[in-house]
Amino acid sequence: MRVADAFNEKVAKLASAATLCDAAELLSATQSSELMVVDGDDNLLGVVSEGDLVRAVMPSRDEVLEGDLPLLSSLELIAEKGSSIKDRRVTEIMITDPITMSPEDPLLKAAQIMDSRKIRRLPVVDAGRLVGTLSRADICLHVIREQAD
């Protein structure tokens, strides 16, 4: 079994000029956990995950502790930080050297990487160009279907 047998060609992707607000909107609309950042030719530039976005919007522990704020004020601090970063580019927080898979890679190799690194979705790249993504669910579905046939 190869990655090509299981990956999904429907990809949630963003242009490098997209903002963090654009990323948040697309993550919410697609219910994806990661977005692929591409150039105009669909070359993979990086990956932005929900976690990357949450870390960007959350005030640091020191910011919260310095203020010695009640919970409501802490929530306001989060809202202020979110407002202040919404126009930053996704390229500022994206993972610039993500682990990628080729369509020809063994599916087991992808599954092992995802398990050991706790990665939910891997970009699938052919000659630098993003051709799809492979999620843990994609692997499970493929394996289950293979066993049913």
Provide CATH code, domain 3-148.
3.10.580.10
Two tokens, residue 19? 């903002």
pLDDT at 86: 79
Rounded to 5 degrees, φ, ψ at 78 are -65, -45
Tens place of pLDDT for every residue, the chain, 149 residues?
999 999 999 999 999 999 999 999 999 999 988 999 999 999 999 999 999 998 888 776 676 666 555 555 667 776 776 677 778 999 999 999 999 999 999 999 999 999 999 999 999 999 999 999 999 999 999 999 887 66
* Structure confidence at residue 68 (pLDDT): 59
Question: How far apart are the C-alpha atoms of 146 and 131, rounded to whole Å?
Answer: 23
